Structure 1
């Protein structure tokens, strides 16, 4: 379906110099400031951002004309004329998030404020078919998702696509675990952009999950925090002052490949004793089998969930397996926390969604005992409220962040985006509201 997406993407993300670029930067700053506050007056925006009143007035006028912000009434009077309050027009734009794993694909739609409108988890992932066929499947399922939820195509900003790390290049997966090897050097960004007609931003799941936690407002925006992500593997996304710490190749936070067991098992990365080999989902399932258990389920996620349920129910063998894994994770988190002086560690991802409660006590004990700066401040350890679909949520947040408040990208380099027009995704009708809808259509 042909759509007119004029103005928004180009204006906000332009890298050119001159008045147009300055206005785009002002628009992004004001949008992000309003998003963070919920509602603000023009005068408050000027004070908060440091922009002069005339600049704020011009930018706000344009944002209202574009339908991105709205006037919602007046503030309480403080003696003079009450100020007019501004808020995001949350339903004016939407972002699509896709988490591509080797056994599943999860889709998310988020509105301009970052609120998750709908989630659609699907079985079968990256290793099921050839990459191009999977891309075509993603494009078709996104079309179905958007149409069923009722999002007009012209309101779509783009697609955030994330997969297990490490090392996503600017346009595709450069290195990955054995399950994702068929995708190495496949032009993923260009292929999905061509199939959907939308800009595509690429990243890894752990960093995306951290961006999603920040964007959702579930963490203090001034905090130094890490999202510890466990799905197929283990990784960490690190946020400092709202910015992801990426490293020179976008591979910062690969905590799953910290050595915690010297002379331990060989990891797929080529090292021995990596955290993933003793505490990852596959390691726990393997240990359960070695202990005489028979985890139920076809996929690793299901087998891990079966062992976790036994541990949560108090089955001694399963409890012991998770206690060992949690101790290894706690030591790795202590190292990460000492190096970065973290305020907050959020456990997220599908494995922690099921078993996070089995890991929190060990991490808390380790930090209380051995965190170097424990006499100065504590470290909050929590389980994400949307851990099951955190990566897909973060993928959508990557799009919103690139539009509302351009910051360093997931790769640590200029945005890994590609787009095509007109859009091949067509949606109609009003958007949803309220709690996220978990879609269950065929």
Structure 2
């Protein structure tokens, strides 16, 4: 495990044990005692409850160390499922994951576009039903829906931010729409909302992409640029859900004005939209990378993917554009690493799924100059599920909130002690 199970502010001792089993993959009851600090009778009681609920199964034995071989425990991955939805202007991505966060089905559908929010919610509900029914999963085993988007969660369980700030222009018609309540009504499932970059980081944590790191981040690049942080095993969101706005780190004080109102943001200079605009501004470059005139609004994601394919073929115009972007993104990433003393940085999101082979070595090179280099390096990796990271993370939001919920702050030590005493007494 990357941290002591009891160092995270779980809401119950049962969730502490379940999270310890999840993090370990397979673990014995003796291992759980060491990981949690709970007594043997307490572990016995909690494990029995988890087995009776179908969440945990016994799976073979550990290697003998001279005494009785210990029975190993692991999650029953097929006992529960969660749906993750990534809502974006260009495409809506859906993922159905099992209890371990493994994707069992995924689909992509047209994005929100300029449609009215209520109409998009109806489309989302239809796609969710098709996703679940398509693999024959019982509805009773689906814990809920995680829905994430490029922006903060507002006070009415919708996409937050005033009309003139906090939300990318293409999604501003969603400001104030009660998204969570609307989707719950049409799906009859609990709905959890969050920012897409934060969800991507949680997905990496839940599926083991951060390894044993105690300070890790996911650098997310879709239409824009963001980052999600996991510190001590806990996804850090901040008071308003605006943590990780890496795209609005200034890398040039006299740079172009960004849609957020500031100047010189890395997203304005080096984000996918900036790369596509630079390619389209040069007719020779546009032809070389395969960009053609669009009848309607061009898709940034599709155009950026075309540039990425050209770069992988070695097309020089495309390589120049992406390498210039990668250097500026790397500079912003180094700022994040210095501020948070990062051990691991995972590159993820649909744009990095397309262009990761260009960005990875350049971002790695930039982070070799991180302030912590005298103590430790920053391990920069490409996500195993970069194309669908936010949808997978959205499903992990449900798994975490339903099975290993965290409180908003650490529990008082007396509460932990009282709970342990109560469980020990019930076990005797």
Answering whether residue 137 of structure 2 is matched by residue 151 of structure 1, we say yes
CA contact 1:74–1:85 (8 Å) conserved in 2: yes
Q: Deviations over 1:183-232 (max 9, x none)?
A: 10000000001111111110011010011011111222333111000001
Q: What SS does the corresponding residue of 1:232 show, helix, strand or coil?
A: coil
CA RMSD of aligned residues (A): 1.8
What whole-Å deviation, never above 9, does each CA across 1:55-108 have from its counterpart, x for those lacking one? 222222221111111122333333333222222111010011000000111110
Distance in 2 between the 1:324 and 1:167 partners? 33
Q: Larger relative CO (CA 8 A, sep 6+): 1 or 2?
A: 1
**1:408, distance to aligned residue in structure 2 (A):** 6.2
1:171 equivalenced with 2:157 (yes/no): yes
Task: Please tell me whether residue 240 in structure 1 is matched to residue 226 in structure 2.
Answer: no
Change (3 A) 1:344 1:146: same
Q: Give yes or no for the alignment of 1:209 onto 2:219.
A: no
Q: Is 1:25 equivalent to 2:12 in the alignment? A: yes
Q: How does 1:78-157 map to 2 (within 5 A)?
A: 78-122=65-109, 124-157=110-143
Q: Give yes or no for contact 1:38–1:88 (8 Å, CA) kept in 2.
A: yes
Uncovered stretches (5+) of structure 1, i.e. residues with no partner: 1-21, 413-442
Q: Which residue of 2 aligns with 1:394?
A: 393
Q: Note closer, same or farther for the CA distance 1:320–1:76 as it changes in structure 2 (3 Å cut).
A: closer
| TM-score (ref. length: structure 2) | 0.86
Deviation at 1:323, TM superposition (A): 1.8
Residue 199 in structure 1 maps to residue 190 in structure 2: yes
CA deviations over 1:333-389 (Å, ceiling 9, x no partner): 111111111111111000000001211222222222x31121211111111111000
Give the deviation of 1:307 after TM superposition. Answer: 1.1
Aligned with 1:220: secondary structure? coil
* Cα deviation, residue 144, structure 1: 0.9
2:263 aligned to which of 265, 269, 272: 272
Tell me the CA shift for residue 168 of structure 1.
4.4
Which position in structure 2 is the counterpart of 1:45? 32
Structure 2 match to 1:383: 382
Q: Secondary structure at the match of 1:373?
A: helix
Q: CA deviation at 1:47?
A: 2.3
When residues 234 and 166 of structure 1 are mapped into structure 2, their CA distance, relative to the original with a 3 A threshold, is farther
Q: Verify the 8 A CA contact 1:233 1:281 in the aligned structure 2.
A: yes
Give the drift of 1:46: 1.9
1:96 aligned counterpart, secondary structure:
strand
Q: Which residue of 1 aligns with 2:48?
A: 61
1:327 aligned counterpart, secondary structure: helix
Give aligned pairs, total. 386
Taking the aligned partners of 2:87 and 2:233, their CA distance within structure 1 comes to: 25
Distance in 2 (alpha carbons) for counterparts of 1:361 and 1:56:
45
Judge conservation of contact 2:159–2:179 (CA < 8 Å) in 1. Answer: yes
Could you state the TM-score of these two structures normalised by the residue count of structure 1? 0.84
Contact 1:168/1:202 (<8 A) preserved: no
Contact 2:81 2:143 in 1 (8 A): yes
What's the secondary structure of 2:78's corresponding residue? helix
Task: Tell me the SS of whatever aligns to 2:351.
Answer: helix
Closer, same or farther in 2 for the Cα pair 1:170/1:382, shift >3 Å? farther
Give the distance between the partners of 1:313 and 1:74, measured in 2 at CA: 50
Range that drifts further, 339-348 or 259-268: 259-268
Q: Secondary structure at the match of 1:98?
A: strand
Is the CA contact (8 Å cut-off) linking 1:165 and 1:204 kept in structure 2?
yes
Structure 2 residue runs of 5 or longer lacking an equivalent are 1-9, 162-166, 410-428
TM-superposed CA distance for 1:405, in Å, is 2.2
Q: How far apart are 1:291 and its partner, in Å?
A: 2.0
